[in-house]
C-alpha cells in the first residue's frame, strides 16, 4: 500500500511517498517560494541523485501537478502510474474542537476546515488548497486529514481555558488548542517503546524544538498541557516568534510607534524570537 503524505504551508509544500507494506520511503521532496517566479523544487529518492529545479510555480495546485508528474516520470519517478497511490494523508494545522483524531475527508469535514480558517489564517487555507488539488487530480483516492491540534483535545478545561469572559470561548472559540500534536504523540510513543514500557504507565515531557517550538505534558499517553495556545505564537521563544509576552505590550507598542495591529502581529510572528533578540538570524548555527 502506497501512501502519499502532503504538508502544505503558506508558500511551501513538503511530501513523502511511503510504501506502508514495508514501511519504506520511496521518494520525498519540497517546494519552496510557491507563488514566485523563482520557486524551488527539490525531489529525492533513496540511493539516487537529487533533482533540483528553479521555475515559476504559481499555486499549490500547480505544485501538486508537478509532484504527481515527477512520481511517474521515466527518469526520476518511483511508480509506474497514479493508480499505485492508494491514499493521500494531509497535515492540517487547525481542527479546532471538532477533530480529536485523523479523519477521512468528506464535504462536511471540508466545511469544518473552512470554519477553522479564522483560527489559523496563515496555515489552514493552503492546507485546504492542497486537499482540493489532490481531490481534483485523484478524485477516487481516499484523502485523510491529520490535525496538529487533535492530540491536545484531551487537555482538561483548567489547562485550555483562558481567564477571559466566558462568552468569548462560547462565541469565538478562544481557548488553548496546542499544536505540533503529531510530533508530540510520536515522540511520546517512541519514548515508551525505547523504555520498554506501556504509555499508560508513563508521565512524559515531550519537546518539539525547531524554528517553531513547543513542550507538552503527557500522562498515560494523553496530552494534559502544552505551551502553545490559541495560536502557534505563544509558549517558548522561537526562531522568529515571541513566545509568551505580557499582552499589554501589544497596545503599548501600537500607542508608542503608531503601528496598527497587523504590523505588530508581523513583528511578533516574523521579526522576534531568536532573530529579534540577536539582531542577526533565527538560526542558532549562525
The answer to whether residues 110 and 209 belong to one domain is: no
CB 240 within 8 A of CB 269: yes
Tell me: pLDDT of 112 over 80: yes
CB 71 within 8 A of CB 50: no
Tell me: pLDDT of 99 over 80: yes
CB 93 within 8 A of CB 179: yes
At residue 59 the predicted structure's pLDDT band, cuts being 50, 70 and 90, is confident
Tell me: pLDDT of 47 over 80: yes
Alpha helix positions (H), the chain: 60-71, 107-115, 124-137, 157-160, 166-172, 181-195, 249-257, 261-270, 273-278
The answer to whether residues 185 and 127 belong to one domain is: no
Q: Does 231 reside within a domain?
A: no
8, HSE (Cβ side, Cα atoms, 13 Å): 29
- Measured distance CA(120)–CA(232) in Å, rounded: 9
| Total domains present in the chain | 3
The answer to whether residues 184 and 121 belong to one domain is: no
Question: pLDDT per residue over 219-274, tens digit each?
Answer: 999 999 999 999 889 999 999 999 999 999 999 999 999 999 999 999 998 899 99
167, HSE (Cβ side, Cα atoms, 13 Å): 0
- Measured distance CA(171)–CA(149) in Å, rounded: 19
The answer to whether residues 23 and 122 belong to one domain is: yes
At residue 3 the predicted structure's pLDDT band, cuts being 50, 70 and 90, is very high
Q: Does 12 reside within a domain?
A: yes
The answer to whether residues 197 and 285 belong to one domain is: no
CB 64 within 8 A of CB 119: no
The answer to whether residues 3 and 98 belong to one domain is: yes
Q: Using only the alpha carbons of the chain, give its radius of gyration.
A: 20
State which of 101, 119, 147 marks the end of a domain. Answer: 147
The answer to whether residues 166 and 135 belong to one domain is: no
* Active centre residues (catalytic): 148
Question: pLDDT per residue over 7-40, tens digit each?
Answer: 987 788 999 999 999 999 999 999 998 888 999 9
- For residues 63-92, average pLDDT: 93
Helix (H, G, I), strand (E, B) or coil at 190: helix
pLDDT value at residue 20: 95
> Which residues constitute the domain of residue 42?
1-147
State which of 196, 226, 256 marks the end of a domain. Answer: 226
**DSSP string of 98-148?**
T-SS-EE--HHHHHHHHHGGGT-TTTHHHHHHHHHHHHHH-TTS-EEEEET
pLDDT value at residue 204: 98
H or E stretch covering 12: none
Lowest-confidence region among 73-87, 119-133, 172-186: 119-133
The answer to whether residues 221 and 177 belong to one domain is: yes
Q: Does 234 reside within a domain?
A: no
Q: Does 235 reside within a domain?
A: no
Tell me: pLDDT of 122 over 90: no
pLDDT value at residue 118: 79
Q: Does 17 reside within a domain?
A: yes
The answer to whether residues 127 and 166 belong to one domain is: no
Q: Does 93 reside within a domain?
A: yes
pLDDT value at residue 245: 97
The answer to whether residues 57 and 103 belong to one domain is: yes
The answer to whether residues 208 and 103 belong to one domain is: no
Tell me: pLDDT of 283 over 80: yes
Q: Does 48 reside within a domain?
A: yes
Select from 81, 64, 87, 72 the least CA-distant residue to 136. 64
pTM attached to this predicted model: 0.83
The answer to whether residues 143 and 1 belong to one domain is: yes
Burial of 44 (0-12, 13-18, 19+ CB in 10 A): middle
Q: Does 211 reside within a domain?
A: yes
> At a CB cut-off of 8 Å and minimum separation 6, what does 45 contact?
26, 27, 76, 78
Amino acid at each position: 500500500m502506497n501512501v502519499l503524505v502532503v504538508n502544505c504551508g503558506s508558500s511551501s509544500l513538503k511530501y513523502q511517498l511511503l510504501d506502508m507494506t514495508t514501511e519504506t520511503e520511496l521518494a520525498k521532496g519540497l517546494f519552496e517560494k510557491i507563488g514566485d517566479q523563482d520557486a524551488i523544487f527539490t525531489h529525492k529518492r533513496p540511493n539516487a541523485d537529487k533533482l533540483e529545479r528553479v521555475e515559476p510555480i504559481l499555486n499549490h495546485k500547480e505544485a501538486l501537478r508537478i509532484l504527481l508528474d515527477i512520481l511517474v516520470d521515466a527518469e526520476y519517478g518511483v511508480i509506474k502510474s497514479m493508480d499505485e497511490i492508494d491514499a493521500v494523508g494531509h497535515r492540517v494545522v487547525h481542527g479546532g474542537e471538532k477533530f480529536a483524531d485523523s479523519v477521512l475527508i468528506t464535504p462536511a469535514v471540508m466545511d469544518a476546515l473552512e470554519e477553522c480558517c479564522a483560527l489559523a489564517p496563515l496555515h489552514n487555507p493552503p492546507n485546504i488548497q492542497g486537499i482540493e488539488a489532490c481531490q481534483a487530480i485523484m478524485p477516487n483516492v481516499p484523502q485523510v486529514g491529520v490535525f496538529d491540534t487533535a492530540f491536545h483535545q484531551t487537555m482538561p478545561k483548567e489547562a485550555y481555558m483562558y481567564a477571559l469572559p466566558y462568552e468569548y470561548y462560547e462565541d469565538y472559540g478562544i481557548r488553548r488548542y496546542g499544536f505540533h500534536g503529531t510530533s508530540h504523540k510520536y515522540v511520546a510513543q517512541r519514548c515508551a517503546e525505547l523504555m520498554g514500557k506501556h504509555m499508560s504507565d508513563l508521565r512524559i515531557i515531550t519537546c518539539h524544538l525547531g524554528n517553531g517550538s513547543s513542550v507538552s505534558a503527557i500522562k498515560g499517553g494523553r496530552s494534559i498541557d502544552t505551551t502553545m495556545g490559541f495560536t502557534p505564537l505563544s509558549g517558548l521563544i522561537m526562531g522568529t516568534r515571541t513566545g509568551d509576552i505580557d499582552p499589554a505590550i501589544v497596545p503599548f507598542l501600537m500607542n508608542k510607534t503608531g503601528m496598527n495591529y497587523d504590523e505588530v502581529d508581523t513583528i511578533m510572528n516574523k521579526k522576534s524570537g531568536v532573530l529579534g533578540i540577536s539582531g542577526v538570524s533565527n538560526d542558532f548555527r549562525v
